[in-house]
Amino acid sequence: MIIEPRMRGFICTTSHPKGCEQNVKNQIEYIKSKGPIAGAKKVLVIGASTGFGLASRITSAFGSDASTIGVFFEKAPSEGKTASPGWYNSAAFENEAHKAGLYAKSVNGDAFSNEIKKQTLNLIKADLGQVDLVIYSLASPVRMHPVTGVLHRSVLKPIGSTFTNKTVDFHSGKVSEISIEPCSGDDIENTVAVMGGEDWGMWIDALKAENLLAPGATTVAYSYIGPSLTEAVYRKGTIGRAKDHLEATAFSITDSLADIEGKAFVSVNKALVTQASSAIPVIPLYISLLYKIMKEEGIHEGCIEQIQRLYQERLYTGNEVPVDEKGRIRIDDLEMRPDVQEKVAKLWVEAVTENLSEIGDLEGYRKDFYNLFGFDVEGVDYKADTNEVVNIESIV
């Protein structure tokens, strides 16, 4: 079978196993090239199959020789249908980890559910005893609440008033104005229920209740702030309320871990093309301008560079973890540099369909987007027949 990208709206419905494998190998090579990190040895990554979570799993395994358990929600390949990219990524990761003699097992299912938590806890109990790092990197549009049974849907909307600004359809390159109506009803509560910190807290409580957190264990979740340009739809919108909640949860988790001297952090990461971020209006235009500037300045980073720096220069320096005035780790420092933001703001005003491919990095955006699904990856022969079934050896 020759696999080609097939688009439906913001999403690509096919993915390429060889391309995903190559992406994972490239990330592993990057981590190896940066040398060892004195990090955690037994690591649970929740949301481990794509984006920042996958980068975290790779950094732990290949930077610190860590045993890793990854939790994710991905589709296996089936008759005539490719798997989801996170499936191929995880298959490739496990393959490489096992070749390197590293323990790696995965749990595929709804991380918000009691059942998947239980399975994961049992696996830790049986194989690792305890974990010393828990990365929480879920990005989901829905959450079935495990206690109430309510299905919450998150929305990406401004709060209070309609937000009108530019956006780009990155496939066509067309810049247009978009108006997003303010949220209503239970939109904020629902978004907080999905993307806030409640589930993170539930995971940590469950792990602690079964004595599966090692003394001094650390847990890290990922957040975003971004510039004033995107504030109305991001940080001051419904998703921002969820991030506020997530950030507040770090403090309550740290309190709950006092007796084992554990600590919870939120790391504020850079805006990057992932499946989650490409669905947010306005963000793709911002990212394409940001990429252009950061590449020109030689300070562009992808997920793996971000997480490598998080581990090497923030979490595992041997000194106290540096945080901002709100207790957050900042690896969005380069994105938020005043000179970078000034340049982006200037380009933002100028951006129209006719000049975007020049003043913005539309090509880079598209390439990153296709790369997410294993397409357009250097060194992959897309003309070759791909009919092998890729399985995850140690899925639970």
Residues 105-124 binding ligand NAI (CB under 6 A) are: 110-112
User: At residue 58, what is the residue type?
Assistant: I
CA–CA–CA angle 224, 229, 234 (5° rounding): 40
Our finding on whether 52 is near Na ion (CB under 5 A) is: yes
Taking the complex as a whole, the smallest distance from the CB of residue 275 to Na ion amounts, in Å, to 9
Our finding on whether 335 is near ligand NAI (CB under 6 A) is: no
* Pairs from 323-326 (Cβ < 8 Å, separation ≥ 24): 323/265, 324/268, 326/247
Our finding on whether 85 is near Na ion (CB under 5 A) is: no
Residues 37-56 binding ligand NAI (CB under 6 A) are: 47-53
Catalytic residue among 234, 291, 311, 370: 234
What distance in Å separates the CA atoms of residue 296 and residue 10, rounded to the nearest whole number?
28
Residues 118-137 binding Na ion (CB under 5 A) are: 137
- Say whether 224 counts as a known binding-site residue: yes
Beta-carbon contacts of 249 under 8 Å, excluding residues fewer than 6 positions away, are: 196, 197, 198, 200, 201, 221, 264
Our finding on whether 19 is near Na ion (CB under 5 A) is: no
| Contacted entry of Na ion, ligand NAI, none for residue 71, CB cut-off 5 to 8 Å set by kind | ligand NAI
Taking the complex as a whole, the smallest distance from the CB of residue 2 to ligand NAI amounts, in Å, to 26
Query: Given the complex with ligand NAI, which of 214 and 237 has the nearer CB atom?
Result: 237
- Count the Cβ atoms, other than its own, within 10 Å of residue 342: 11
Instruction: Mark whether 311 is an active-site residue.
Output: no
250 in Cβ contact with 345 (< 8 Å): no
Q: Which helix (H) or strand (E) holds 143?
A: strand 142-144
Tokens encoding 311: 């581990």
Our finding on whether 310 is near ligand NAI (CB under 6 A) is: no
| Contacted entry of Na ion, ligand NAI, none for residue 369, CB cut-off 5 to 8 Å set by kind | none
- Say whether 51 counts as a known binding-site residue: yes
Q: Which of 17, 19, 39, 53 binds Na ion (CB under 5 A)?
A: 53
What distance in Å separates the CA atoms of residue 59 and residue 40, rounded to the nearest whole number?
10
Tokens encoding 39: 């990090």
- Say whether 214 counts as a known binding-site residue: no
> Listing from the earlier edge strand, what are the strands of the sheet with 67-72?
104-108, 67-72, 42-46, 131-136, 213-223, 263-268, 329-330
- Say whether 74 counts as a known binding-site residue: yes
Q: Which of 30, 62, 72, 88 binds ligand NAI (CB under 6 A)?
A: 72
Our finding on whether 306 is near Na ion (CB under 5 A) is: no
- Say whether 274 counts as a known binding-site residue: yes
Helix ranges restricted to H, the chain: 17-33, 51-64, 85-99, 114-123, 187-195, 198-209, 238-256, 283-296, 303-310, 338-350, 353-359, 362-372
Query: Given the complex with Na ion, which of 232 and 372 has the nearer CB atom?
Result: 372
Q: Which of 31, 276, 310, 362 binds ligand NAI (CB under 6 A)?
A: 276
Binding mask 78-97 for ligand NAI (x = CB under 6 A): --------x-----------
Collapsing DSSP to helix, strand or coil, 127 comes out as helix
How many residues sit in the footprint of Na ion (CB under 5 A)? 5
| Contacted entry of ligand NAI, Na ion, none for residue 275, CB cut-off 5 to 8 Å set by kind | ligand NAI
Our finding on whether 70 is near Na ion (CB under 5 A) is: no
Residues 216-275 binding ligand NAI (CB under 6 A) are: 222-224, 269, 271-272, 274-275
Our finding on whether 158 is near Na ion (CB under 5 A) is: no
Residues 174-203 binding Na ion (CB under 5 A) are: none
Q: Which of 3, 123, 138, 304 binds ligand NAI (CB under 6 A)?
A: 138
What distance in Å separates the CA atoms of residue 54 and residue 204, rounded to the nearest whole number?
20
Nearest residue to 104 (alpha-carbon basis) of 115, 89, 114: 89
DSSP for 1-49, written as a single string: ------EETTEES---HHHHHHHHHHHHHHHHHT------SEEEEET-S
What distance in Å separates the CA atoms of residue 247 and residue 269, rounded to the nearest whole number?
13
Residue ranges for the known binding site are: 47-52, 73-74, 110-111, 138-139, 224, 243, 272-274
- Site residues, Na ion (CB under 5 A): 47, 51-53, 137
- Site residues, ligand NAI (CB under 6 A): 47-53, 71-74, 86, 110-112, 137-140, 222-224, 269, 271-272, 274-277
Residue ranges for the known binding site for NAD(+) are: 47-52, 73-74, 110-111, 138-139, 243, 272-274
> Which sequence positions are flagged as catalytic?
234
